[in-house]
């Protein structure tokens, strides 16, 4: 076995602390029953952030229209539940497939141009889907949203309750499954080639990596995962509105990766936890000015550095260096 293959296999292995982390997450709805809905929200936005990290942190594609796939997954799952069948798992698969198809189409637009070009193209793609959802009000409900979405029990046994515990466990399970799949994906030879494209596209082309095909595949996979997050959002809330296509969704998930870091899968999860908890606490403490405090935190994070905030001893040690 080559050194590269051994390194990839080593990265796939779960560390001793990781099962404890996930067990703690699944225990949270029981330990804090009044906060089960927040746990559900964190799991959904963490899955959304995970999908963006695949294209931003591992492939180097900057996107400001990632909410397009979140919205496609949400509306597809909601429409399927309302007009076809209310089974959550089937609806989840429909949302993933619909967002994946849209992602495959959109991937054609991001294979050329600079980062600024991709920013504008992805933003424009998201705005197009937002306007389509608004105009097709006979199907989507328009500005009023798609209402009357009633979901069946998960696996035919677990009903969605008002406390949100079933929703939280359902979303956490889907997050864990996609996290494990994404871990194998980024630590495979295919994932290594994507990181090579991120680091130097011309060099990757020179050694024979099919850059266009790899970019399209990565973008499609990320879109499908974002669609899963959208489907979970619609299923656990029983509602889908134009808000899921809005620009602030793409901006928020970008901020989560700024907080948690890109290029490692736990970055999106950590960023989602910090962002949602700060949003919940600050909006309760200062309803009018919570965005100011959140913005101040982000400014300090960028100026000081994530490592120095998370590891004070590193800050102290670096400060002693000449």
- Closest by alpha carbon to 251, among 294, 214, 306, 303? 294
Instruction: Please report where in the chains the tokens 């970019």 appear, as a residue.
Output: 215
Torsion angle of C-alpha atoms 157, 163, 167, 168, degrees rounded to 10 = -120
CA-closest candidate to residue 77, choices 69, 166, 66, 137: 69
Domain 12-285 is found in CATH 1.10.3470: yes
pLDDT value, residue 269: 87
pLDDT value of position 316? 38
pLDDT for res 315: 42
Q: Where are the domains of the chain?
A: 12-285
* Residue 322: per-residue pLDDT: 34
Contact indicator for 6, 133 with CB cutoff of 8 Å: no
Nearest to 46 by CA among 274, 213, 245: 274
Q: What pLDDT sits at residue 226? A: 92
State pLDDT tens for residues 177-194.
Answer: 999 898 888 888 887 888
In the chain, which stretches have pLDDT less than 50?
Answer: 312-322
* pLDDT confidence of residue 9: 59
Instruction: Give the per-residue pLDDT at 317.
Output: 40
pTM, two decimal places = 0.86
Structure confidence at residue 296 (pLDDT): 80
Rounded Cα–Cα distance for residues 7 and 5 (Å):
5
């Amino acid at each position: 076995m080559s050194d590269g293959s051994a390194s990839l296999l080593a990265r796939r292995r779960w560390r001793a602390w990781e099962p404890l982390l996930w067990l703690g997450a699944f225990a949270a709805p029981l330990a804090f029953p009044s906060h089960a809905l927040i746990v559900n929200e964190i799991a959904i936005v963490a899955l959304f952030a995970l999908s963006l990290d695949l294209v931003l942190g591992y492939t180097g594609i900057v996107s400001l229209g990632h909410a397009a796939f979140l919205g496609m997954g949400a509306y597809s799952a909601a429409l399927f539940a309302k007009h076809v069948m209310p089974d959550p798992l089937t609806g989840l698969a429909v949302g993933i497939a619909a967002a994946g198809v849209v992602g495959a189409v959109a991937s054609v637009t991001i294979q050329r141009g600079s980062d600024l070009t991709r920013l504008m193209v992805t933003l424009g793609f998201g705005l197009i889907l937002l306007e389509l959802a608004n105009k097709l009000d006979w199907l989507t409900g328009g500005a009023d949203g798609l209402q009357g979405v009633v979901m069946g029990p998960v696996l035919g046994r677990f009903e969605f309750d008002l406390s949100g515990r079933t929703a939280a466990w359902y979303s956490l399970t889907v997050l864990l499954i996609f996290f494990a799949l994404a871990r194998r994906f980024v630590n495979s030879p295919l994932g290594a080639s994507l990181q090579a494209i991120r680091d130097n596209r011309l060099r990757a082309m020179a050694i024979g990596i099919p850059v266009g095909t790899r970019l399209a595949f990565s973008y499609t996979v990320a879109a499908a995962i974002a669609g899963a997050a959208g489907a979970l959002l619609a299923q656990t809330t029983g509602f889908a509105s134009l808000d899921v296509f809005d620009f602030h969704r793409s901006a928020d998930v970008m901020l989560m990766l700024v907080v948690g870091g890109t290029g490692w899968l736990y970055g999106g999860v950590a960023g989602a936890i910090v962002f949602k908890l700060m949003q919940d606490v600050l909006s309760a403490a200062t309803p009018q000015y919570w965005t100011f405090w959140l913005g101040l935190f982000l400014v300090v994070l960028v100026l000081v550095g994530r490592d120095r905030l998370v590891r004070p001893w590193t800050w102290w040690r670096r400060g002693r260096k000449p």
